[in-house]
Structure 1
Amino acid sequence: MHARDTGAVSPTSIAPTADPLEAIIPLLRPQVVLSKVVSGAGDWSIRKPRYADPSFCLIIEGSCWLDPDGIEPLELHRGDFLLFPETPSFVMASEPTLEPVDVDLYPEGDAHYGTSDGLAPMQMLGGYFRFDRANAILLVKLLPPTVLVRRGEPGSARLSRIVDLITEEAVAQHPCREVILERLVEVLLIESCRFRTERPAAGEHGLIAGLSDPGLAGALREIHADVAQGWTVEKLARVAKMSRAVFAERFARTIGMPPMQYVLQWRVALAKDMLRAERPSLAEVADRVGYQSASAFTTAFTRVQGCSPREYLRTEAAIPGP
């Protein structure tokens, strides 16, 4: 496997961009599959099972406790937005000490827990996304386990305006309510990821954390601006203005994979999108993502995907769309 040393990347179905987040969101193709209003009053505690797709909640009124498996419990308040790129089993409750009751992940219709007129009423918009299946596994790895944006955080005024629009739409019964909510929640997803890039939470890892590190951010932007460049750890370390050893260690610790593994995975992600959307020749795909021949590209693709590009296309043709 040998990457080219020079040459710009030809336009792809996902155009080259120096903004990694801008490149990743189109590959995820987020689609709101379901959203509903969930409410609670009095004493209540429920447990929901693990779910593979991303989910979200936006607190419209009041507050509640959320205790996800493997993650510290959180108290959520009005205006807070939380995204799980992968949804763990979790307990949601009015008080963290209450014994939870198992419930379906998303029962039919809006859901209410506790009493009808109890104290401390809570209302939230909850639901889940579906990311495009082709690259969801890789791209979810690049997001932190949770993306939490609290109302009132410094710099969150723009997000708060989106939250207010969603809140207004969620509690009303206007025409096209579901369509508008879907679009607003998609915007909120993108905006919250961008916000966290600029203000990462403590201990965060993945692409968002990498983009908040000036040295790593520069290297990431160079990779995404010209994925077909003949990247090496040494070249990327020079971009980051670090020694090779320091750069390699910091990249792996922050992003969650070594630098050249990231380059390989991103090339294959772009290639999969090209193959599905455009059906170019393997030689053309190889050139556009940085390999000198179709055979070198096939070897790299198979290493990541577990099958050849042609086998991948045959499998995709047999699977209904997302």
Structure 2
Amino acid sequence: MCSIHYRRVDFSDGGRELLASPNVLSIRPEWEVILDPITDIFRTMHVTAFGQHRLEATAPWGLIQKKQTEEKVPPSGKKISPTDLAHFAMLSRGNCWLSVEGTPEPIPLTGGDCFFLARGTSFILRDSLRTHPKKSFGEVAATDGSNVAHYGGGGAPTTVICGSLSFDRASLKPITQLLPSFILIKADEPHTLALHNTMQALASEMAEQAPGSEVVATRLAEVLFIQALRAHIASEPQRKQGWLRAIFDPQIGTALSAVHDSVNTPWTVESLAATAGMSRSAFAARFKELLGQTPLEYVTEWRMQKAMQLLGQRDKKLIDVARSVGYESDAAFSKAFKRVVGANPGEYLKRGFRDP
């Protein structure tokens, strides 16, 4: 789903549009690019993968990941809140059992299976349901510069590729709307060939320890995250909730696509309802039902997400950022920014929230 869609634009003059100035002729392409909302969110947010390591476990073994209550500092040195974290793991060899908080039954995993867990979710990974986990993942992490951790009693081997993802604070709310708390991708599911190829490349990169492996592994982990979400969308269409359910709704999804395609348009509830082909009242009610906020709250918050991204670019003036997200004056933009973000643009930048 993370793709660029295209819309045909027909011009009676064969693709040429005369601008207001009589001396300027603009050649417009026959095809106009439109960003779908999922692509727009991934382009706007900043994702950092860290802590990747390969766990070589031998039976009996069991590890637990509890809810984090303290801030962690990843190898990059960027201090992040535990609310910014998600965990991922891929079983590349062997078999084990996964128990996830809120999921009633343990899940058997085999080679090629992959799962992602959103922030604040406890889970247990073990060789057998009879094994009681005695340590956390952090306690058996790789040491001495290695990215391979060894744990267990010397029995049947299992290899797990583990890691975490952090999301820039500016992107946290769209992520929480986008992500289910738990994504499981089984090796035998359709639409997962690219995902498995990335998994294999990540496992290989982590095994070789070649120059630049850490950078390559981080990039592959980011790709893995997006591919897992795409596979989740493709494999469970009937179980979408929240933002995903909204974006696949024929009418609300059309309005969301319009917002993400043209965030600087002066949207109103009436114009969004017309885009969706619904009455104003029916559109507003359906939008609130699916997303938990009003249409204009969504528009404003997404404008501020885009604005935070633009503010991190040193060459952007405040008025240019304001106009890029639909405000004619920097004063009106700053007022809206402070209402949503809790700080005006200058304060926001002084606190060090620029993109790295």
Q: Indicate the TM-score class for this superposition, using the shorter chain for normalisation.
A: 0.7 to 0.9
1:97 Cα deviation after fit: 5.2
1:233 maps to 2:265: no
Matching residue within 51, 63, 69 for 1:34: 51
Partner of 2:78: none
Distance 1:216 1:146 in 2: 25
Query: Structure 2: how far apart are the matches of 1:208 and 1:27?
Result: 17
What percent identity do the matched residue pairs reach? 31
Q: CA RMSD of the aligned region, Å?
A: 2.9
Q: Does 1:56 align with 2:88?
A: yes
What SS is found at the alignment partner of 2:351?
helix
1:20 aligns with 37
Q: CA deviation at 1:104?
A: 4.9
Q: How many residues align?
A: 303
Structure with the higher strand share, 1 or 2: 2
Unaligned runs of 5+ in 2: 1-32, 69-81, 143-147
Distance 2:278 2:139 in 1: 48
Q: Does 1:100 align with 2:133?
A: yes
Give CA-to-partner distance per residue, 1:47-90, whole Å, 9 cap, x none: 22324222211110123222233445533322122223425222
Task: Give the 3 Å change call, closer, same or farther, for CA 96–217 of structure 1 in structure 2.
Answer: farther
The 1:266–1:41 alpha-carbon spacing in structure 2 relative to 1, beyond 3 Å, is same
Alignment counterpart, residue 111 of structure 1, candidates 146, 149, 154: 149
> Equivalent residue for 2:304?
268
2: distance between equivalents of 1:263 and 1:85? 25
Match of 1:88 in 2: 121
Give the partner amino acid of 2:40. Answer: A
Which structure would you say has the larger RCO, counting Cα contacts within 8 Å and 6 or more residues apart?
A: 1
Q: Which has the larger radius of gyration?
A: 2
Displacement of 1:202 in angstroms is 4.7
| Mean Cα deviation higher: 169-178 or 189-198 | 169-178
SS at match of 1:135: helix
Aligned AA (2:93): E
Moved over 6 A (4+): none
Q: 1:75 aligns with which of 108, 133, 144?
A: 108
In 1, the alpha carbon distance for the partners of 2:103 and 2:327 equals 40
In structure 2, what is the equivalent of residue 208 of structure 1? 244
Between the aligned partners of 2:176 and 2:139, the Cα distance in structure 1 is: 22
**Matching residue within 51, 60, 63 for 1:46:** 63
Which residue is 2:71 aligned to? Answer: none
Residue type of the alignment partner of 2:114: F
1:116-136 CA distance string (max 9 Å, x none): 1x24x3211001122223333
Looking at structure 2, the residues matched to 233 and 188 of structure 1 have their Cα atoms a distance apart, in angstroms, of: 37
Aligned 1:1-322 pairs, distance under 5 A: 17-51=34-68, 52=82, 53-72=85-104, 73-96=106-129, 98-105=131-138, 107-109=140-142, 110-116=148-154, 118-119=155-156, 121-172=157-208, 176-200=212-236, 202-278=238-314, 280-316=316-352
**CA distance change for structure 1 residues 166 and 314 in 2, over 3 Å: closer, same or farther?**
closer
TM-score, with normalisation over the residues of structure 1?
Answer: 0.81
